[in-house]
Amino acid sequence: MLVDYLQRGVVAGAIAGLLYGVYMAVVANPLIEYMETVSHHAGEHDHGHAADPAHAHAVSEATTEVVSVGSGVLWGIFLGGLFALTFYFLEPALPGTERVSAYVLAGAGFLTVSVTPWLVLPPATPGAEQSLGPNPRLVIYAGLMVLGAVVAATAILGYERTTARTGSRYYGLVVAGAPVVATVAIVPTLTPTITTAGAMPAELVTTFRGLTVLSQAAVWAIVAGSFSWLTDHVESTDGTAALEDDHPVAA
């Protein structure tokens, strides 16, 4: 049964990953390369950022583009697999129908993996300056993921308790929203700024961050949507074996 979930999760993740790979190829690759040139031009007038060996590229632009698209696909598969494993275990504890609970878990995943860490470590633009090295930032990122998971769990438990007590879904949603809104509003004000965008125009930074947030949200939404679709598809065809039946000529 867990293997069925994982199968669906990997397929859903591959769908999301392929779409994210197309986004990488069509939007993110050209945008990031453009921002690199902007930051290098600024660096020449500023403090020689372009000559910094840490920022010199060890591989060609074409390799970076191809590997980045491939990484995008892998990222989808990775999140889809993690989503399915978590969904298998936590599904009984999630509110809503099967379809709704998949989106609830995807939202919790997005909050945990991306949104909460970004409150302190926002998506770095090319040429961004970081006041801490990679290792302390990895620790901070991991700590914030734990915080994100706790906030998501608090929101879901709050929703379930409140709806059970008051019988009102509306109150449940308010109680569920409170810890999320509070975290998003308060955490950035309590923590020091670690990432600064350097000489990048502010509009470009905002566009880049907006695209990053929306594209990651889309990955999670597509994973949940595809997973539900596959669940229905599996049920409507032949029990749990529909995915294996898709490959009658294999082996």
Partner 1 sequence: MTVTNDTVHDRIETARTDLTPMQLAAILVFAAAIGFTLLFLQEPIAHDAMHNFRHGAGITCH
Q: Looking at beta carbons only, is 128 or 222 nearer to partner 1?
A: 128
> Which of 103, 118, 159, 227 touches partner 1 (CB under 8 A)?
118
Is residue 220 within the footprint of partner 1 (CB under 8 A)?
A: no
Q: Which of 3, 6, 13 is nearest to 224 (CA)?
A: 13
> Which of 22, 26, 51, 67 touches partner 1 (CB under 8 A)?
67
Is residue 185 within the footprint of partner 1 (CB under 8 A)?
A: no
Is residue 43 within the footprint of partner 1 (CB under 8 A)?
A: no
Q: Which residue has the tokens 């889809």?
A: 80
Name the segment binding partner 1 (CB under 8 A); options: 38-46, 63-71, 155-163, 172-180.
63-71
**Residues 141-180 contacting partner 1, CB under 8 A:** 141
Residue-wise DSSP of the chain: -HHHHHHHHHHHHHHHHHHHHHHIIIIIHHHHHHHHHHHHHHHHHTT-GGG-GGGS-SS-HHHHHHHHHHHHHHHHHHHHHHHHHHHHHHGGGS-SSHHHHHHHHHHHHHIIIIIHHHHHSPPPPTT-EESS-HHHHHHHHHHHHHHHHHHHHHHHHHHHHHHHHH--HHHHHHHHHHHHHHHHHHHHHHS---EE-TTS-HHHHHHHHHHHHHHHHHHHHHHHHHHHHHHHHHHHHHTT-HHHHT-TT--
Is residue 128 within the footprint of partner 1 (CB under 8 A)?
A: yes
Q: Which residue has the tokens 């990955």?
A: 219
Is residue 7 within the footprint of partner 1 (CB under 8 A)?
A: no
Is residue 130 within the footprint of partner 1 (CB under 8 A)?
A: yes
**Closest approach of Cβ 202 to partner 1, in Å?**
17
Name the segment binding partner 1 (CB under 8 A); options: 43-51, 124-132, 159-167, 173-181.
124-132
Is residue 55 within the footprint of partner 1 (CB under 8 A)?
A: yes
> Which of 29, 39, 162, 183 touches partner 1 (CB under 8 A)?
29
Residues that bind partner 1 (CB under 8 A): 1-3, 6, 23-24, 28-29, 32-33, 54-55, 57-59, 63-65, 67-69, 71-72, 74-75, 77-78, 81-82, 85, 88-93, 98, 114, 118, 122-126, 128, 130, 134, 137-138, 141, 212-213, 215-216, 231, 235, 240
